[in-house]
A and B are shown apart, each in its own frame.
Chain A
């Protein structure tokens, strides 16, 4: 039985920082993998492995914060203001979707991850369409949905494995 950890003690802080670092490294690893889909902002989303883990061990708020931290970190190290703001939008949308689907308790980790991935892609696409001020991007919707499903499943599987095997590590000792 997984126990929720309060986030205002030293151990939680350290573990969350660890997960944030994990997310950042995953983001970096992602840049090493040649993955080209034509729409800016659409990526493998490997960092979500960490984010999903955070959501399940701690909660949506913590997931949100860790994601922001990760984005800022990666953005300042490897990216630019442009990419940071894009990532933020994708993260917000995907976190919102994941929190909704997790709350319903209807889906497994994989289902939640798929919702997050598809939502992320849709969000990125919407922003791209607004920035570029054209409806042309709409033609990519089907591709993005499928890509979101595939990546969501993969990320979900990895996340669920991590959650299962590191459960001990995150169990609180001070309750």
Chain B
């Protein structure tokens, strides 16, 4: 029994290290290079559809507020984007803090709202495809309901 136990412990270590490596690899891929500001876009999506697009800038003097129909208020100020207020039951979106790098996002699950910073060149995203191909067949406006 003892020999098996030692093996199990060794397996545990292997498992943990494997997971760490996976996390590190994914981390490198995702958090990669730093992008110069003028290529960043601030996007707000509701239920997968882009409802707001704004050119991100880390300018200290910028202050831009997005008041969404859902009751969320998103603010871009001095290069940081955050959820100023929201009336969702958990308020997690406010607690997610400030984002300023590509890939980072703030998510308000109850309102299905996503605020994200994305590289302008990186537009091979399904959400954007939907918007570009938006015809009247769907009958849906891009604006939130």
- The interface residues of chain A lying within 8 Å CB-to-CB of B31 are 139, 142
Contact flags A85-121 to B (C-beta < 8 A → 1, else 0): 0000000000000000000011110110011001000
Minimum CB–CB distance for A163 against chain B, Å:
13
CB within 8 A of B19: which of A108, A114, A128, A139?
A114
Whether a CB of chain A sits under 8 angstroms from the CB of B112 is yes
- Cβ of A132 and Cβ of B109 under 8 Å apart? yes
Whether a CB of chain A sits under 8 angstroms from the CB of B23 is yes
Minimum CB–CB distance for B1 against chain A, Å:
9
Query: How long is the Cα–Cα vector from A39 to B47 in the complex, in angstroms?
Result: 17
Contact flags B109-144 to A (C-beta < 8 A → 1, else 0): 110111010000000011100000000000000000
- Cβ of B95 and Cβ of A107 under 8 Å apart? no
Query: How long is the Cα–Cα vector from A108 to B24 in the complex, in angstroms?
Result: 24
Contacts A134-B45, A136-B116; A40 near B23 (Cβ below 8 A): no
Given pairs A39-B107, A145-B23, 10 additional interface contacts (CB within 8 A): A38-B96, A108-B8, A108-B12, A111-B15, A132-B112, A133-B45, A139-B31, A141-B30, A145-B20, A153-B16
CB within 8 A of B8: which of A106, A114, A118?
A106
- The interface residues of chain B lying within 8 Å CB-to-CB of A165 are none
Contact flags B89-119 to A (C-beta < 8 A → 1, else 0): 1101001110000011111011011101000
Contacts A131-B109, A134-B48, A142-B30; A107 near B22 (Cβ below 8 A): no
- In this complex, what residue of A is CB-closest to B115? A136
Whether a CB of chain A sits under 8 angstroms from the CB of B5 is yes
The 9 nearest A-B residue pairs measured at CB: A133-B48, A111-B12, A142-B27, A38-B96, A136-B105, A145-B23, A142-B23, A108-B8, A40-B109
- Cβ of A139 and Cβ of B47 under 8 Å apart? no
Most chain B CB within 10 A, of A83, A107, A136, is at A136
- In this complex, what residue of A is CB-closest to B102? A139
